[in-house]
Structure formats: C-alpha cells, structure tokens
Copies of this chain bind each other. A is one copy, B any other.
Amino acid sequence: MDDIKLFFTENQMQSARFAKALSHPVRLYIIGLLTKQACCYSGDLSEVLPIAKSTLSQHLKELKNAGLIQGEIETPKIRYCLNEENWEKARILFEDLFNK
C-alpha cells in the first residue's frame, strides 16, 4: 500500500478519493441536493434521511474531508454548501476519465 502511493499519479489518487466520497447513497444524495439548491442544514437532512443523526454527521465529515463540501457556522445551525472549487476539480477529473 506504500508502493501504491508511489506508483499512481496524484490525479489518479485524487480521482479515487473523490469517487470514494461519492460511493455511498447518503453522500450522493447530499451532494445531489447541494448541486440543486445552494446549501442546506444538517437538521433538514436529518429529518428526511432514514439514518441516525450521528451517522449523518459522519457522512458530512467524510464529504468535508474529501473537500467536496464546506460548513459555515450559523449558530445554532451549520450551513453546508458545495466546495465549488473542488467540485469543479472533481468534475474535470471525471470528465477526463469518461471522455477518453
């Protein structure tokens, strides 16, 4: 697994990280929502999604760690949005993959 990091290009590693972040239906749902409506609150998601709040929190954290979303504190809530810069990076990486 150390060889692996040396062998692959940074683009390949980054694409894999983005794909992993998108590889769970809950996370895909959140991302899909944020591409349509600018932002949302954890509480709104929690009311809709059939998972515990703590589980949702973990998924949000993973999306944040992958750089795909960001959260602004708007006490007492947290407002989540796409990280537009990285979302564009992801778009380009996937576009490159799919369009030869």
Supposing A12-B25, A29-B12 touch, asked if A36 and B100 sit within 8 A by C-beta, the answer is yes
What separation, in Å, do the CA atoms of A19 and B25 have in the docked complex? 10
Q: By the criterion CB–CB under 8 Å, are B97 and A31 in contact? A: yes
The reply to whether the CB of A63 lies closer than 8 angstroms to some CB of chain B is no
Copies in the complex: 2
What separation, in Å, do the CA atoms of A20 and B12 have in the docked complex? 14
Instruction: Please list the residues of chain A having a beta carbon within 8 angstroms of any beta carbon in chain B.
Output: 3-4, 6-8, 12-13, 15-16, 19-20, 22-26, 28-29, 31-32, 35-36, 49-51, 87, 90-91, 94-95, 97-100
Known contacts A8-B29, A13-B25, A19-B20, then 18 further A-B pairs from the complex at CB < 8 Å, ordered by chain A residue: A3-B50, A3-B51, A4-B25, A4-B50, A12-B25, A12-B29, A12-B32, A15-B28, A16-B23, A16-B28, A19-B19, A20-B23, A23-B23, A28-B97, A31-B97, A35-B98, A36-B100, A87-B98
